[in-house]
Structure 1
Amino acid sequence: MGLSSRPDTPEPDTESSLLLHPSENPPPISSKVPEDSYHLAYIIHFTLGFGYLLPWNAFITAVDYFSYIYPGVSVDRIFAVAYMLVGLICLAVIVFYAHKSDAYIRINAGLILFVVVLLVPPVLDTTYIKGRVGLYDGFYATVGALALTGLADALAQGGLIGAAGELPERYTQAVIAGTAGSGVLVSFLRVFTKAVYSQDPTGIRNSANLYFIVGIAVMGICIVFYNVAHRLPIMQYYADLKVQAVNMERDKGSMTGAQWRSSLLGTVGSIKWHGVGIVLIYAVTLAIFPGYITEDVKSEAMKDWYPILLISCFNVFDLVGKSMTALYMLQNWKVAVAACFARLLFFPLFLGCLHGPEFFRTEVPVSVLTCLLGLTNGYLTSVLMILAPKSVPFHQSETAGIVSVLFLTLGLAIGSIIAWFWVV
């Protein structure tokens, strides 16, 4: 059943019971779930999803600038490895200590750290690099900023997906769709700057600085939105519902370290196949996008516009896929995971675009495959990230959401490493 068929104000017990394990349903906090007036809670969750992926998108969209300033460096692939591996390690730590920390603090810390790392490239450019080529100390500082972005992403993304997992499905869908929206924004900015700014060193510098300035502005909006969201009646309702569920667990007795680890392993076991699917999605996607698209395929007709348009195609169709779950939500996780395995076919298909028959090496097959890569990435991500927190008792939903992000980041890290080797 699609999300759109579910009203924002369900009958008593219906929405609450979806969030609580069937054997643990207490009476609801109130007789009626408050209405999401003007869809403000949905918009806030979309904006937060939009924001936390924007710093990464800003760095990879400014690849022309970094490639010019640091010649001879495989910028895309080095950035991906630094960002993904740090994010993976930090998320693993957060999973084990999430029950001892406050998601509100983690998310705010992540959002503020995003602002700091987004300041690094423009500050370096204006105070140290100043358009000069080959100052590799600046590159090391930039990679360090990417590593901090991975930490910020672990704090913010893990917290936001975990918190959204405690809400009805539409809010997880909003966060996931927002991540795709950030990709579309930076693609639009890339096309805009390519068309407006001259493609000389000055124009490339101005383009890159614009990406980071926009990113800082959006992160400021996200900080404000996140810190006012808890005042919305619908958010207060679900916060009270969480307190009730946690108190029920506490009444059963305090949880020792061994019991917590057992509970965590149980949560992982409940969503392990969801996690396998998520790992496969991003291992395939990151092995191909953006490195293969920006460095391996060429077009005599479109020249340097070709990778820009391909990246835009991927991001637009990723947004379409992540938005489709608002219209039709696949409820069978087994079908979704099978589709993730089927995406392995993208490897021979994209390889054929380099070494296959002549027609296969033209722009049309590459463009179609890129659109399909984005569409399946978006839809299957949204399905599995929504279903995973709903597969465990309510008091474990936040942990399940964070673990899902850990699987996602593991897939990103694996894909970014595969990207170095699978095309020769």
Structure 2
Amino acid sequence: MSDMNVDPNETPVKLEGKGIAILVCWILGFGTLVSWNSMLTIGDYYYTDLASSGKGGIGSYIIICIFAAGFGVADAHVQGGMTGDLAFMKPEFIQSFFAGLAASGALISGLRLITKAAFDKSPNGLRKGTMLFLAISTFFEFLCIFLYAFVFAKLPIVKYYRAKAACEGSKTVASDLAAAGIQTDPNQRADVDAKTPDRLSNKELLFKNIDYALDMLLLHVVTLSIFPGFLYENTGKHGLGSWYPLILIAMYNISDLIARYIPLIESIKLESRKWLMIVVLSRFLFIPTFYFTAKYGDQGWMIMLISLLGVTNGYLTVCVMTVAPKGCTGPEANALGNILVLFLLGGIFLGVALDWLWIIGNGSF
């Protein structure tokens, strides 16, 4: 590769590739969660025990758990790395990335409904539909690898922000640029270092932004304590039969996706740290509401409620992730992005762990 100098003082408005970068960020977000959402959406495949050809057994169960754990490890690395990378760039990039995360759930749910409809009546149809479903998901994963390696990193606006972060002291970004054959001017880096105040350590950065971190944790504790396990265990018998949980998951994912574009309207974007925390805490009311709706309400109320869960999850996630890095230097924004994803995934873990509580008293014990 030929070396290429990037001037971090160049005005980003003059750089090309913003629109393409936003599109690629969306696709990368989609690819980040496509495998995880595939695992979630084929719950009916595991509940009918077809993952082991109907034979069951502890061996098959352990293998499935290992694969699920592998998806979790991969998701944590990719989502954390991408969020940290985009946090010091334009807010539109991180918004598009998180919209892509939601889109993976929405599109995967739609694809699952299509494959179920196509193979529902055929012999061994559930297995055939799931295999096709997973093959299509795998294709998108390889597409994202190509886009990140050969398209995104070469966009002028991406080079600008990475060079700027490297000059501000971000060692990981500097290493990425060096690996790509792109060099920043060491004199400019020294000049920026002289003008930049002492940077916050990761511990100091966490305490300074602890409310944002707790927002991400609590937001996803509530969401994952309900979605998707509750939808398979506690929705009762309805006219939609085996389609009912799949439709509920699809409605959540579509609502979540749409809501992640609402913060693009500045007049209704929530930026107050106080009100973000208040609204996040108010979502705990969803837990008793879902319980009583499942017990006394019909499927129409449940569809409306799951849609509201998705709207609040998508809207608040994007608000926090785009507001938190404001005012940070490149290295601080990079680290803060990693910290917020750590708390996000911690919330997912706790939510999934609490999800089993829904089965108490419903005859599963």
Tell me the TM-score range normalised by the shorter chain: 0.7 to 0.9
Paired letter, 1:377: N
Structural mapping, 1:72-151, within 5 Å = 129=52, 131-151=53-73
SS for the counterpart of 2:31 is helix
Q: Which runs of 5+ in 2 are unaligned?
A: 1-6, 170-188, 361-365
Q: Which runs of 5+ in 1 are unaligned?
A: 1-26, 71-124, 253-258
CA distance in 2, matches of 1:175, 1:344: 26
Query: Contact between 2:258 and 2:311, CA under 8 Å: does it hold in 1?
Result: yes
CA distance in 2, matches of 1:174, 1:413: 24
Q: In structure 2, what is the equivalent of residue 236 of structure 1?
A: 159
SS for the counterpart of 1:134 is coil
Residue 391 of structure 1 and its aligned partner are, at CA, apart by 5.0
Q: In structure 1, what is the equivalent of residue 254 of structure 2?
A: 316
Identity %: 29
Q: Select 2:292's aligned residue among 352, 360, 370.
A: 352
Paired letter, 2:10: S
Q: In structure 1, what is the equivalent of residue 239 of structure 2?
A: 301
Cα pair distance change 1:38/1:402, threshold 3 Å: closer
Q: Select 1:46's aligned residue among 7, 26, 34.
A: 26
Residue 379 of structure 1 and its aligned partner are, at CA, apart by 0.3
CA distance in 2, matches of 1:32, 1:192: 43
SS for the counterpart of 2:135 is helix
CA distance in 2, matches of 1:272, 1:201: 54
The yes-or-no answer on 1:62 pairing with 2:2 is no
Cα pair distance change 1:249/1:154, threshold 3 Å: farther
Q: Select 1:192's aligned residue among 109, 114, 118.
A: 114
Q: TM-score, normalised by structure 1?
A: 0.73
CA distance in 2, matches of 1:37, 1:382: 22
SS for the counterpart of 2:238 is coil
State how many pairs are aligned.
330
SS for the counterpart of 1:219 is helix
Q: In structure 2, what is the equivalent of residue 421 of structure 1?
A: 357
Paired letter, 2:45: Y
Q: Select 2:215's aligned residue among 274, 277, 284.
A: 277
CA distance in 2, matches of 1:324, 1:380: 10
CA distance in 2, matches of 1:31, 1:186: 39
SS for the counterpart of 2:115 is helix
Q: CA RMSD in A?
A: 2.3
Q: In structure 1, what is the equivalent of residue 316 of structure 2?
A: 380
Task: Provide, for residues 147-170 of structure 1, a one-character-per-residue CA deviation record: whole Å limited to 9, x for no partner.
Answer: 111111121110000001010100
Task: Provide, for residues 195-230 of structure 1, a one-character-per-residue CA deviation record: whole Å limited to 9, x for no partner.
Answer: 111256611111211221111100111001101211
Query: Contact between 2:226 and 2:355, CA under 8 Å: does it hold in 1?
Result: yes
Cα pair distance change 1:35/1:141, threshold 3 Å: same
CA distance in 1, matches of 2:213, 2:133: 32
Task: Provide, for residues 361-402 of structure 1, a one-character-per-residue CA deviation record: whole Å limited to 9, x for no partner.
Answer: 211211111000000000001111112222533321111000
SS for the counterpart of 2:160 is helix
Query: Contact between 1:33 and 1:237, CA under 8 Å: does it hold in 2?
Result: no
Q: In structure 1, what is the equivalent of residue 4 of structure 2?
A: none
Structural mapping, 1:358-397, within 5 Å = 358=296, 361-390=297-326, 392-397=328-333
Q: In structure 2, what is the equivalent of residue 179 of structure 1?
A: 101
Residue 140 of structure 1 and its aligned partner are, at CA, apart by 0.8
CA distance in 2, matches of 1:69, 1:31: 57
The yes-or-no answer on 1:155 pairing with 2:77 is yes
Cα pair distance change 1:183/1:194, threshold 3 Å: same
Query: Contact between 1:267 and 1:392, CA under 8 Å: does it hold in 2?
Result: no
Residue 331 of structure 1 and its aligned partner are, at CA, apart by 2.1
Residue 313 of structure 1 and its aligned partner are, at CA, apart by 0.4
Residue 311 of structure 1 and its aligned partner are, at CA, apart by 0.6
Cα pair distance change 1:325/1:337, threshold 3 Å: same
Residue 38 of structure 1 and its aligned partner are, at CA, apart by 7.2
CA distance in 2, matches of 1:316, 1:47: 16
Cα pair distance change 1:331/1:217, threshold 3 Å: same
CA distance in 1, matches of 2:341, 2:327: 15
CA distance in 2, matches of 1:388, 1:155: 20
Query: Contact between 1:298 and 1:306, CA under 8 Å: does it hold in 2?
Result: no
The yes-or-no answer on 1:336 pairing with 2:295 is no
Q: In structure 2, what is the equivalent of residue 22 of structure 1?
A: none
Paired letter, 1:365: W
Cα pair distance change 1:405/1:226, threshold 3 Å: same
The yes-or-no answer on 1:207 pairing with 2:129 is yes
